[in-house]
Structure 1
Amino acid sequence: MRMTWDDFWTLIAILDGEATQESCGRLIEELSNRPVPEIIGFAERHAEALYRLDQEKFGTLPVADMTDRDGSPFPQSSDVFLYTRCAVVAAGRTVWESVFSDVDAYAPYTSTEYDGEWLLSVPDRAYELATGTEWKRSTRYCAESYSNPDGWPHLRG
């Protein structure tokens, strides 16, 4: 069974808007009780959601609540950019969809107050719980920062 975007966002709603250890634990539990193809489908949608956010207009935003020693904006590292994209996904479909037309809606998620890192391990942990084996997987879309050539046109080789 293919996971639809509606199915994906219904599962993401379990997070109640934030990717904390506790909320991701609830999502892992829910996913691990589903058939393996659904876990894989979730992983695919999650990777695609992150990939679609992998754009220069988001990645070049400074960290919202930090400045350099001289008071200048503090840039996001590649890891921070990945975690902020996870935080946007965790915030839910409405937020995720809104940032594409309003970069200002993305900006607050660069704050150190938001950290979506826990969301990254959800598919792997759910798969391990469901099967008892480690998932050596890859997804169609790469979630790593700067991997979307359409989002970073000047980085194209």
Structure 2
Amino acid sequence: MNENAFWRLIEACRPSITDPEGDELAAALIARLTNGPVSDVVGFAEQLSWALYRLDRKEYSDDLSSDQFLYTRAAVVAAGRDEYESVLRDPERFMPYANDLVWAEALLYVPDNAYKHLTGDEWDRSTRYSYESYSKTAGWAGE
């Protein structure tokens, strides 16, 4: 799954009403991914981790706990490509997601749940980029 396919999938699955925890989005993504091959799940996980990794920068954190920072980054991804790219260009657009407590934690578990549904096995979640908070060293050294 390339970056464009990832964002098309996010857009296609986003609910039309506010989904503060990201549960509806996650359920729709899992349903879509379990209709395809395992490679789609792996590709989705790679693109999700890359998107979250790109937001792992000091100018976005504003003293958030590591969990708050991770879930807020997930909410930015859940908001769709246009909003995500706006936040990348303007870090001030990030904090409203943290302040509104719209975190979309459920998005993080989409690859695990889809993979288990397709294979019956647990997935070790190895991706090229770590999305854990503060793992992007360059993002904290002042890019």
TM over 0.5: yes
Post-superposition shift, 1:45? 0.4
| 2: CA distance, partners of 1:31 / 1:127 | 9
> Partner of 1:10 in structure 2?
8
- Sequence identity (%): 48
* Amino acid across the alignment from 2:8: T
Segments of 5+ residues of structure 2 without an aligned counterpart are: none
Quote how far apart the aligned CAs of 1:112 are. 3.9
Name the structure 1 match of 2:91. Answer: 103
| Aligned match of 1:72 | none
Match of 2:43 in 1: 41
Please say which structure displays the higher CA radius of gyration. Answer: 1
Q: CA deviation at 1:116?
A: 1.4
- Note if 1:132 corresponds to 2:125: no
Give the match for residue 138 of structure 2.
Answer: 150
Question: Could you list the runs of 5+ residues in structure 1 that have no partner in the other structure?
Answer: 61-74
State the number of aligned residues: 138
Report what 1:31 is aligned to: 33
1 CA distance for matches of 2:132 and 2:25?
A: 23
What is the TM-score normalised by the length of structure 1? Answer: 0.83
Aligned mates of 1:137, 1:49 — CA distance in 2 = 15
Partner of 1:118 in structure 2? Answer: 106
Does residue 20 of the first structure (1) align with residue 18 of the second (2)? no
Q: Distance in 1 between matches of 2:100 and 2:83?
A: 18
Matched AA of 2:85? E
**In angstroms, what is the RMSD of aligned CA positions?**
1.5
Match of 1:51 among 46, 49, 53: 53
Q: Distance in 1 between matches of 2:117 and 2:32?
A: 11
Higher helix fraction (1 or 2) = 2
Give the structure 2 partner of residue 77 of structure 1. Answer: 65
What TM-score, normalized by structure 2, do the two folds share?
0.90
